[in-house]
Chains A and B, each alone.
Chain A
Amino acid sequence: MNFLEPMAFWFALALPVVVVFYLLKRKRVVKLISSTLLWQKFLAENQANAPFQKLRKNWLLLLQLLMLILVILALARPYFAGDAKQSRLRVLVLDASASMQATDVKPNRFESARAEAMKFVDGLRENDQMIVLQAGAITQVKQSATSEKAALRRAIEGAAPTDSITRLDEALRLAETLVKDQNDAEIHLFSDGAFPFPEGFETKSLPLVYHRIGTGAENAGITAMDVRANPDNPAQRAIFANIANVSSNAISARLDLTFNGQPVDLKAVTLPPRESSPQVFVVDQSVNGFFTLKLVVDDALAVDNEASVISLLPQPIKVLLASSGNRFLEKAIRAVPNVELSTTSDVRLGGSGFDVVVVDNIAPLEWPAANVLALNTWQTNWFDQVGRLEQPPIVDWKNTHPLLRFVNFQNVFVNESLAVKTPPWALPLVESPQTPLVLAGELNNQRIVWVGFDALQSTWPLRVSFPIFVANAIDWLNPATSRAELLSVQAGTPFRFRLDNAVNEAKVVLPDGSESELLINTNTTEILFDNTARRGLYRLKTATSEVAFTVNLLDSGETDISPRNELPFGKSGQTVATTVQQANLELWRWIALAGLAMLMFEWWFYHKRTA
């Protein structure tokens, strides 16, 4: 038998107190009677008759002591580790995502989880092995399997919360491999459950024990932020933001917008309960810089109350249209704001100097290095083999992709298309049952949008979705856009950046002012920086250049900090939050029950004597 709370035995100090109380005699009712002779005889006779007469005198005391011992035992939470649970590999997964910084439990959820994890370590048996994982955007193994409690404690002590989202599937997959083929292993997840539930675990019988952390959900946060040219006036910049309130009360807050640290706008917002509200700021911008939006509100989670985005002044997009002639396409491109369009019908494109090259229905001799929008083109090395298909029906399109924003293929009919297999680098955006019709992807740092049919052989150019798609495509293919996208990363995701010149050394200034030297190969042109656990503005410094990039949370899943009681996966399809170790057969309830019974017996006994 082991004890989860051996410290409770300090309560045993109360035992002598009971004895002392008993020694301080009970208050008796004083009564004058004629003679105590009969009473003396009565006591003498009854004591002489009763067995255990020596005990009898202190019978109540013994009962009280017994009850107190039971209560102390219950407080000590003894348990028998069942024989079936002999295993003893424990994988401890500590959620270190942004929502764990919520302060609804003091000091915050992460510290609370850490404390519980520490307790859990204390409750481990001597030969139990444990692995400590920290789950954030990336999963870190803080401690490999060991039964050394000091090392486990050190590992838990060394864990720190991040501003990133939770990618629990990664941690669970790792944990799953760790517990596989282990007889009685368990995965203990210390989390608030505020994460998108990982897919593919519903049917797996994970031996998961979920220790729920957190109580409240009083939070509001910025869940999205983007900066674009103002659609009404391209000279201005429009900042789009989405503010979500996940609490059950309406929240009044203030939005402060700063540019390079200088305040430019502020707005008071009232957020209805459990709703989000889109916000737009339109500002003038004269130099490159970064906008920071701050939600001034008193809530449980501070990380999501601030977001920054780099905004570079728009440059004219140089587009080369190589086409055998497509007036619809040309018009659609010209309609895109801030575009400098050149057209050619020559197969020798020579597309250098252009940001985007549109290849329509011709086979260029040499493919340009710039980003490409290719329509009805097959003379490439992008596909293994190309076939033809008559009247492919359009069955699906991904309108969540930025390319298909506001684009609808409902009334689009295609007469004839190319039939290809989706190459690994590309994502099918529009699909017919046999072939993808529109692909988008990045191949060797070149962004490619491929449309597998001749627009003129379809009803698409007649639909309103066509010019929107072209505008989306030009925007997506614009290197400035992709570069700007690179400059804003989600916390925990590595920052990748391609430099114009090769460098030998680089360093990054973190939001807190500290500098981080990068270990890079000599003459590299690509920087990879993965220490983006903290939200804020980072500066990448090389010998020749300086690039600022922002790390934001911007995740509605993390902003919604309400703790979940159930996880829709685990051993039997779901895992209910637990507060105790399921692995152990705890006895304190029974002992407490026995204590209660003892108390009642004592009461009865007392009354038997007095009533």
Chain B
Amino acid sequence: MTRMSAPLLTAELLRRLEQFQLLAARRAKSSSRGERRSRARGQSVEFADHRNYVLGDDLRYLDWNLYGRLDRLFLKLYEEERELPVTLFLDASESMTFGEPRKFDFARQIAAAVGYVALCGFDRVRIRTFPEHAADAAYLGALRTVRGRKSALPYFQNLGHLTAGGSAQFNESLRRGALAAQQAGVAIVLSDMLDPDGYEEGLGALIGRGFQISVVQILSPEEINPATYGDLRLIDSESGGEQEVTFGKFRLKAYRQTVDNFCQRLREYCTARGISYFMSPSNASLEQLLLKQLREAEIWG
């Protein structure tokens, strides 16, 4: 964790996170075995159903008790326990570098926590940043698929090495991420959602792929509550576009209203599509978000 002065998550937090398990609303569709119930039938201890024996079935799964009672051959079916792919879409654009603490750092902490919970639950975790930086290629490669609790430490380390910069194309990145996923699963989108092109297309692509989506919108305190007054020429960190604004205390309320409106629209969009939506300032309490909000929203439990 060379890029961060402090560990992403404290030991205490990690301990508390261990008790959680990601709650999947749907049966896992992964092809790999895991600890998730799936629709697939396979080998586990959970009985699912019976079916008629057909030639070639493994005789070990014959229900001999039933044969004794009915004199017919039935095969016991067990639920196959599969893994739950958890995809974290991490906004690593220039705009995430703002804020005190940085929005990107906050986003990585959430990513670490969600990843840790998933790894503890023997789920597959993958991180997709947008944009993808060539310098981070090695770490990103390692983060493409992480599985197993023992991978938690390298996962944290790699996550800590990630950098943010450049301009992101939110919609394009999410769309590509949706297409690239072999199995849909849980998708967590960590972003400020401040893309000039909007967020609808990208989120729509994830929905269409069947992801169970959570959006965590992270805004810097300055964005929520600007403290710079006067005649300003604001320069967009990503597009470089300029916006001239004359701003003062008297207009702060109107600005807050604008921010609220923006978040409310996003919330409504998400609610209407079954997406869990969270908004957090980057200086908010991480514990509050992880241990309370996500739990109450039944992202995990």
A-side interface residues toward B, CB under 8 Å? 26-43, 45-46, 607-611
A37 CA / B121 CA spacing, docked (Å): 39
A33 CA / B222 CA spacing, docked (Å): 9
Report the nearest B residue to A39, measured CB to CB: B243
Instruction: List, in ascending order, chain A residues with CB within 8 A of B103's CB.
Output: 34
B231 located at the interface, meaning its Cβ lies under 8 Å from any Cβ of chain A in the complex: yes
A609 CA / B255 CA spacing, docked (Å): 13
A46 CA / B249 CA spacing, docked (Å): 15
Closest 9 CB pairs of A and B: A34-B95, A34-B98, A35-B194, A28-B233, A42-B258, A36-B243, A36-B236, A28-B231, A610-B248
Known A34-B192, A609-B251; 11 more pairs at CB < 8 Å: A28-B244, A31-B228, A34-B97, A34-B237, A34-B238, A35-B237, A36-B235, A37-B236, A39-B234, A46-B251, A608-B250
Cβ of B190 to closest chain A Cβ, rounded Å: 15
Contact call A31/B258, Cβ cutoff below 8 A: no
With contact pairs A28-B244, A38-B258, A609-B250 given, residues A33 and B194 touching in the complex (Cβ less than 8 Å): no
Report the nearest B residue to A35, measured CB to CB: B194
Contact call B231/A34, Cβ cutoff below 8 A: no
Cβ of B163 to closest chain A Cβ, rounded Å: 16
With contact pairs A31-B235, A32-B237 given, residues A46 and B254 touching in the complex (Cβ less than 8 Å): yes
Instruction: List, in ascending order, chain A residues with CB within 8 A of B241's CB.
Output: 36
B87 located at the interface, meaning its Cβ lies under 8 Å from any Cβ of chain A in the complex: no
Report the nearest A residue to B95, measured CB to CB: A34
Report the nearest B residue to A32, measured CB to CB: B235
Instruction: List, in ascending order, chain A residues with CB within 8 A of B246's CB.
Output: 609-610
Report the nearest B residue to A41, measured CB to CB: B258
B230 located at the interface, meaning its Cβ lies under 8 Å from any Cβ of chain A in the complex: yes
Instruction: List, in ascending order, chain A residues with CB within 8 A of B262's CB.
Output: 38, 41
Contact call A28/B196, Cβ cutoff below 8 A: no
B4 located at the interface, meaning its Cβ lies under 8 Å from any Cβ of chain A in the complex: no
**Which of A35, A37, A43, A611 is within 8 Å of B245, CB to CB?**
A43
B232 located at the interface, meaning its Cβ lies under 8 Å from any Cβ of chain A in the complex: yes
B223 located at the interface, meaning its Cβ lies under 8 Å from any Cβ of chain A in the complex: yes
A34 CA / B219 CA spacing, docked (Å): 10
With contact pairs A35-B95, A35-B194, A37-B196 given, residues A29 and B248 touching in the complex (Cβ less than 8 Å): no
16 A–B contacts from the bound complex (CB under 8 Å): A28-B232, A28-B244, A29-B230, A33-B236, A34-B94, A34-B97, A34-B194, A34-B237, A34-B238, A35-B194, A38-B259, A40-B243, A42-B255, A45-B258, A46-B254, A609-B246
A46 CA / B245 CA spacing, docked (Å): 12
Contact call B247/A33, Cβ cutoff below 8 A: no
Instruction: List, in ascending order, chain A residues with CB within 8 A of B222's CB.
Output: 33
Cβ of B93 to closest chain A Cβ, rounded Å: 9
B115 located at the interface, meaning its Cβ lies under 8 Å from any Cβ of chain A in the complex: no
Contact call A45/B248, Cβ cutoff below 8 A: no
Contact call A33/B231, Cβ cutoff below 8 A: no
A521 CA / B144 CA spacing, docked (Å): 136
Cβ of A316 to closest chain B Cβ, rounded Å: 101
A79 CA / B262 CA spacing, docked (Å): 57
A67 CA / B21 CA spacing, docked (Å): 70
Contact call A610/B237, Cβ cutoff below 8 A: no
B-side interface residues toward A, CB under 8 Å? 94-99, 103, 192, 194-196, 220, 222-223, 228-239, 241-251, 254-255, 257-259, 261-262
Instruction: List, in ascending order, chain A residues with CB within 8 A of B97's CB.
Output: 34
A474 CA / B196 CA spacing, docked (Å): 120
Cβ of A245 to closest chain B Cβ, rounded Å: 63
Contact call A45/B234, Cβ cutoff below 8 A: no
Instruction: List, in ascending order, chain B residues with CB within 8 A of A33's CB.
Output: 98, 222-223, 234-237
Contact call A609/B248, Cβ cutoff below 8 A: yes
Instruction: List, in ascending order, chain B residues with CB within 8 A of A40's CB.
Output: 243
Contact call B235/A610, Cβ cutoff below 8 A: no
Contact call B192/A35, Cβ cutoff below 8 A: yes
Instruction: List, in ascending order, chain A residues with CB within 8 A of B261's CB.
Output: 41, 45
Cβ of B168 to closest chain A Cβ, rounded Å: 11
**Which of A35, A609, A610, A611 is within 8 Å of B238, CB to CB?**
A35
Instruction: List, in ascending order, chain A residues with CB within 8 A of B96's CB.
Output: 34
Cβ of A600 to closest chain B Cβ, rounded Å: 17
A43 CA / B96 CA spacing, docked (Å): 23
A31 CA / B232 CA spacing, docked (Å): 7
Cβ of B279 to closest chain A Cβ, rounded Å: 13
Instruction: List, in ascending order, chain B residues with CB within 8 A of A42's CB.
Output: 245, 254-255, 258
Instruction: List, in ascending order, chain A residues with CB within 8 A of B223's CB.
Output: 33-35, 38
Cβ of B95 to closest chain A Cβ, rounded Å: 4
A273 CA / B240 CA spacing, docked (Å): 79
A33 CA / B94 CA spacing, docked (Å): 10
A36 CA / B96 CA spacing, docked (Å): 13
A43 CA / B242 CA spacing, docked (Å): 13
Cβ of A191 to closest chain B Cβ, rounded Å: 57
Report the nearest B residue to A43, measured CB to CB: B245
Contact call B194/A38, Cβ cutoff below 8 A: yes
Instruction: List, in ascending order, chain B residues with CB within 8 A of A35's CB.
Output: 95, 192, 194, 196, 223, 236-238
A41 CA / B250 CA spacing, docked (Å): 17
Cβ of A349 to closest chain B Cβ, rounded Å: 110
Report the nearest A residue to B198, measured CB to CB: A37
Contact call A26/B231, Cβ cutoff below 8 A: yes
A29 CA / B233 CA spacing, docked (Å): 6
Instruction: List, in ascending order, chain A residues with CB within 8 A of B98's CB.
Output: 33-34
Contact call A610/B233, Cβ cutoff below 8 A: no
A11 CA / B243 CA spacing, docked (Å): 36
A46 CA / B299 CA spacing, docked (Å): 37
Cβ of B251 to closest chain A Cβ, rounded Å: 7
Instruction: List, in ascending order, chain A residues with CB within 8 A of B245's CB.
Output: 39, 42-43
A30 CA / B240 CA spacing, docked (Å): 12
Cβ of B238 to closest chain A Cβ, rounded Å: 7
Instruction: List, in ascending order, chain B residues with CB within 8 A of A37's CB.
Output: 194-196, 236
Report the nearest A residue to B99, measured CB to CB: A34
A27 CA / B229 CA spacing, docked (Å): 14
Report the nearest B residue to A37, measured CB to CB: B194
Contact call B228/A29, Cβ cutoff below 8 A: yes
Highest count of chain B CB atoms <10 Å: which of A26, A38, A43: A38
A45 CA / B4 CA spacing, docked (Å): 39
Instruction: List, in ascending order, chain A residues with CB within 8 A of B233's CB.
Output: 28-31
Cβ of B183 to closest chain A Cβ, rounded Å: 33
A35 CA / B234 CA spacing, docked (Å): 9
Report the nearest B residue to A26, measured CB to CB: B231
Instruction: List, in ascending order, chain B residues with CB within 8 A of A38's CB.
Output: 194, 223, 255, 258-259, 262
A34 CA / B239 CA spacing, docked (Å): 10
A608 CA / B246 CA spacing, docked (Å): 10
Instruction: List, in ascending order, chain B residues with CB within 8 A of A607's CB.
Output: 248
A30 CA / B234 CA spacing, docked (Å): 6
